[in-house]
Structure 1
Amino acid sequence: MVELSDHGDLMEKFLNLPCPKMFMYGEQNRTLSYLNHIESNGVRLSEIPECGHFPMYSNPPVMWREIADFLN
């Protein structure tokens, strides 16, 4: 994944997917440099509180609520 991120144009591949998109991140990562870019390209952002890199471990109830809300 790191190789694809750094050299495989992974961001553009993600942005060009022909479906609704959501990007979930922990509040400790709210300063990621690309958040504004992906949001301005139609990606729904979901900041998970009390969380770092792994929402599924740090705050699974909120993560699952965000996913359900996105799908609905």
Structure 2
Amino acid sequence: MTDHGDLMTKFLSLPFPRVFLYGEQNSSLSYLTKLAANGVELAEIPHSGHWPMYSNPVAMWERIADFHARTRR
């Protein structure tokens, strides 16, 4: 994700529930507050950095499964 340019605008305009997963080592990302303010659920994955799917795959997939279970139609 980038904090400027079209990617952020496109992501924020998606018409369905959104979640942004990030490692706890990246908890100071400049755009997290903007995502949250625009209705994006933030999912901090513990014990991980830029690649939570490698550092803590179990926690990452649990958060994805939880989000999916709560938001599916």
TM-score normalised to structure 1 length: 0.88
**Counterpart for residue 34 of structure 2:** 37
The corresponding residue for 1:69 is: 66
Structure 1: gaps of 5 or more residues: none
The TM-score normalised by the length of structure 2 is 0.87
Over 6 Å off, 4+ runs: none
1:12 corresponds to 2:9: yes
Report the 3-state secondary structure (helix = DSSP H, G, I; strand = E; otherwise coil) of the residue aligned with 1:53: coil
Gapped runs of 5+ residues in structure 2?
Answer: none
**Distance between the aligned counterparts of 1:68 and 1:6, measured in 2?**
26
Identity %: 64
Kindly state the Cα deviation for residue 9 of structure 1 after the two structures are TM-superposed: 1.1
* Superposition RMSD in Å: 1.7
Report the secondary structure of 1:66's partner residue.
Answer: helix
Deviations 1:6-64 (A, max 9, x none): 77411010000111000000000000011011101000000000100011100000001
Letter in 2 for 1:66: R
Pair 1:11–1:52, CA change in 2 (3 A): same
The answer on whether the counterparts of 2:3 and 2:31 sit within 8 Å (CA) in structure 1 is no
Aligned length: 69
